[in-house]
Amino acid sequence: MPRKVLLFLGLLVCTSPAFAIPPPDVVASLWQAILQMIGVVSVFLAGAWVAARQFLIQHAPILKRKSVFIPVLLVLLVLSGFALSPLFAATGTSTMIPIKGELLPIETVIKREKDAWVRQWKLKTVHEMEQEASLARSASQLAAVQYQDIQSFTPQALQDLLTSRGSELYILDIREAMEQSKFSIRHDAVFRYGDLVHDILPNNLPKDRLIVVLCHSGLRGYMGAQFLKHAGFEQVSFLQGGLAAWSKQGLPVVGTVDFKVKAPLQPSKQQALAMDAYKVQVDPAGSSAMKLPKLIQLPYETASTAELQPILTLSKTKPVLIVCKEYGGCFQGLNLIWLIEQQGGKVAGLYDETGQHLRGLIN
């Protein structure tokens, strides 16, 4: 009798609500998940014990003897375990283990670049981008961002996750509209990097899915993830090497991979000086002004959409001449030209002071 009482009490404890019904955040806690499974298994064992014994005793009187009944029951439980194991394995793999990328310093990620020129350019540019964003945020009286290591994924790792656990990811493409018009991959939302710099966030951004930020080279993705982290989103990451690396690996895209654009009119310095047009320098924040009369400085990459609107409005009354002297500025100048033309504005051309930066960017 005492053994039966102890057995009853043990089953009662194991099948109590604290074990059988998981708390709301059970998925986030491996220990709670283990307790949940113990509760479920305990309920199953107790039910199986009672039901099997009653059924078998009625149809096989010999099973009244414990020496026969217990081995038979154990065999049935083992067979049940084999039948249910795939279900538990699938559930445990997909919902109990959170998705994690590689948590590496951005310099380590960049040093994986095989092309020496690209590697050196990125190592130099990423710290310039931090300074440019700091200038833009300071001008808008926004708090400084404490940059930290952000988890990231190689293109192949992200492709595998999109295939196996895509519903747990939220893909945010922060390239400019012209870049997005060329090609893309499956994504949940698009947004401007410049708006993220100013703490302007997409609507309905989830906190229960891992956000993966996409860009062309991986640098804006890294920076964009920093701003989201600063805004309170803990589950953020970026794509290593950006969509340039993705396309180089031959992974699936929507559209045609083409990084060059139609060549705009490229006036000489004398022609630029003589033009009756709004002259807008789009080089990064902190760049020195070019020697052109009535020059408007607009650091395009870190400018918010609201800050772009006056230029878009002016372009409908008089042509806009985009001017630049840095590679990043000329690249963003092409983005601004595309945006102006899409909204019905007039473009006078693009003046590259060096005469070099546009060569690899236009057809």
Is 269-360 the same fold as 102-255? yes
pTM, two decimal places: 0.74
CATH 3.30.43.10 fits domain 102-255: no
**Candidate CATH numbers 1.10.3470, 3.30.70, 1.10.287, 3.40.250; the one for domain 269-360:** 3.40.250
Cβ-contact 203, 310 below 8 angstroms:
no
DSSP string for 98-117: ----EEE-HHHHHTT-SSHH
Tens of pLDDT, residue by residue over 162-184, are: 999 999 999 999 999 999 999 99
Give percent of the chain above pLDDT 90: 69
3-state secondary structure of 30: helix
**What one-character DSSP code corresponds to residue 361?**
T
Cβ-contact 193, 223 below 8 angstroms:
yes
Tens of pLDDT, residue by residue over 16-54, are: 444 344 444 434 455 565 666 676 666 666 676 667 667
Spell out the domain ranges in the chain.
2-95, 102-255, 269-360
Question: Residue by residue, what is the 3-state secondary structure of 207-238?
Answer: CCCEEEEECCCCHHHHHHHHHHHHCCCCCEEE
Closest CA to 349 of 255, 272, 253: 272
Give percent of the chain above pLDDT 70: 74
